Amino acid sequence: MNTPYRITPYPQRTLKREKTTLSNGSSDNSKEPVKVFCRIRPLKEDEDTSCILLVSPTVLSLNTPSDPKYPSQRQLHCQFNQIFTSYATQKEVFDFVAMPLLQDLLKGKNALLLSYGVTGSGKTYTLSGEPNNPGIMPRCIDTLFNTIDEFQAPKFMIKPDKMNGFEIQAENDAVKDRLFENRANAKTLSKQSKKGSGDQLHYINDEIRIKDIDENNLYAVFVSYIEIYNNTVFDLLDESNGKPLQSKILREDAQKNMYVNGVVEIEVKSADEAFEILNSGQKRKRMGHTLLNSESSRSHSVFNIRLVQVEQIAHNSEGDPMVPDSNIIKVSQLSLVDLAGSERTNRTQTTGMRLKEAGRINNSLMCLRNCLEVLRENQVTKCNKIVPYRDSRLTFLFKNFFEGYGKVEMIVCVNPSCLDYDENLQVMKFAEMTQDVKIKKPENRDTPYMRKTVKKINTPMSTTKVKSNSSFSLPKIPSFLFDVENLTEMGVTIDQIAKALKLRGSKMETNYSEYNNKVKHFRKRLCDLNEGNILNLSEIKSMKTIIKKGKQESYNLKNKIVDLETVNDSLSAKNQELQEVIRSLRCINDEKDLKINQKILEKERAKQKFAMANEKMSQELENKLRKQREHLQATMKAKENKLKKVKQILESDDPLLSQEDVETPDYDPQHTPPTTILKETQTPSKRNIQTPSARHRRSRSAGEVWLEHNSIKPIPLGTVLQPCVKKRKSLTKLTKASDITNPKQSKYCLIAQDQDTEGEIETKVYKGDIVSTCGGGAQVIFNDVELLKQKSPTESP
In order, the DSSP letters of 354-375 are HHHHHHHHHHHHHHHHHHHHHH
Distance between CA atoms of 129 and 90, rounded to whole angstroms? 8
Query: Angle at Cα 225 formed by Cα 221 and Cα 230, nearest 5°?
Result: 160
Distance between CA atoms of 447 and 438, rounded to whole angstroms? 19
Query: Angle at Cα 382 formed by Cα 381 and Cα 386, nearest 5°?
Result: 95
How far lies 652's CA from each of 645, 658, 750, in Å?
A: 10, 12, 48
| Cβ–Cβ under 8 Å, residues 220 and 157 | yes
- State yes or no: 281 annotated in a binding site: no
| Cβ–Cβ under 8 Å, residues 759 and 751 | no
Residues 6+ apart with CB under 8 A from 449: 165, 166, 255, 329, 330, 331
Query: Which three-class secondary structure state does DSSP give residue 593?
Result: helix
How many Cβ atoms from other residues are within 10 Å of residue 339's Cβ?
24
Beta-sheet pairing, 250-252 with 258-260: antiparallel
Distance between CA atoms of 207 and 213, rounded to whole angstroms? 16
Tell me which residue of 376, 404, 402 sits closest to 389, measured CA to CA. Answer: 402
- State yes or no: 122 annotated in a binding site: yes
Query: Which three-class secondary structure state does DSSP give residue 741?
Result: helix
In order, the DSSP letters of 220-259 are EEEEEEEEEETTEEEETT---TTSPPPEE-EEE-TTS-EE
- State yes or no: 296 annotated in a binding site: no
Query: Which three-class secondary structure state does DSSP give residue 61?
Result: strand
- State yes or no: 359 annotated in a binding site: no
- State yes or no: 23 annotated in a binding site: no
How far lies 112's CA from each of 43, 316, 405, 472, in Å?
A: 29, 42, 10, 49
Task: Look at phi and psi of residue 467 and say left if phi exceeds 0, alpha if psi is from -120 to 50, else beta.
Answer: beta
- State yes or no: 532 annotated in a binding site: no
- State yes or no: 441 annotated in a binding site: no
In 427-548, beta strands by DSSP E: 438-440, 451-452
- State yes or no: 299 annotated in a binding site: no
Residues in the chain: 797
Which residues does residue 710 pair with via DSSP β-bridges, in sequence order? 751
| Cβ–Cβ under 8 Å, residues 637 and 678 | no
Distance between CA atoms of 76 and 63, rounded to whole angstroms? 7
Tell me which residue of 84, 61, 102 sits closest to 1, measured CA to CA. Answer: 84
Q: Which residues are annotated as a binding site?
A: 117-124
Output the known binding site for ATP: 117-124
